[in-house]
Amino acid sequence: MAAAAPPEKAFPVSWDMFHRDCRALTWRLAGAGPFDALVTVTRGGLVPAAIVARELGIRVIETICVASYGGGAGVAETQQGNLQILKSVTDEIVALGRGDGGKVLIVDDLVDTGKTARVVRDLLPKAHFATVYAKPMGRPLVDTFITEVSQDTWIFFPWDTGLAFQPPIAGGA
């Protein structure tokens, strides 16, 4: 098995930066509600969902479990594999807002190609979809986001990294 090519551009995100960006997302969402429930896309959406739910006072939290990156034989964590819905949302969540999710907030960490977002959108077409970060291919599928990065950028989230030396960009990093 060949090693995966490193991403073209790296965007490391610290815990402090991520928390700040999640609170900024919440400020934008405050005027879009109120929401009766929050659905988070696991696993990446768990951390921002906890922050957003706390800040907005949302107590009904549901997960949709989707696997799209790595984890399979021969698939690196930086490569999208086949999309799998491991767990869908409950009928009670779908029923909110006249059966189309209209009173539901969906939260994820990132929209990349839009494949995962499309699956979630199909389940809850009227829900408000929010991500902390967005890439151009997936951006049209979300209603609210904080930071856009180029499609060839890999975001290194704080839960995926450890402290290590970073070579200067001018040195080819």
Residues that are catalytic: 108-109, 112
Tell me: is residue 110 an annotated ligand-binding position. yes
Instruction: Please tell me the distance from the alpha carbon of residue 173 to that of residue 106, in angstroms, as a whole number.
Output: 35
Nearest to 51 by CA among 35, 27, 34: 27
Residue 90 is assigned to a ligand binding site: no
Longest dimension (CA), the chain: 56
**Residue 15, annotated ligand binder?**
no
**91 among the known binding-site residues?**
no
113 is in an annotated binding site: yes
Instruction: Please count the residues of the chain.
Output: 173
112 is in an annotated binding site: yes
| Residue 16 among known ligand-binding residues | no
Was 159 annotated as part of a binding site? no
The answer to the question of whether 109 is labelled as a binding residue is: yes
Q: Which residues are annotated as a binding site for xanthine?
A: 112, 155
Q: Which residues are annotated as a binding site?
A: 43-44, 108-116, 154-155
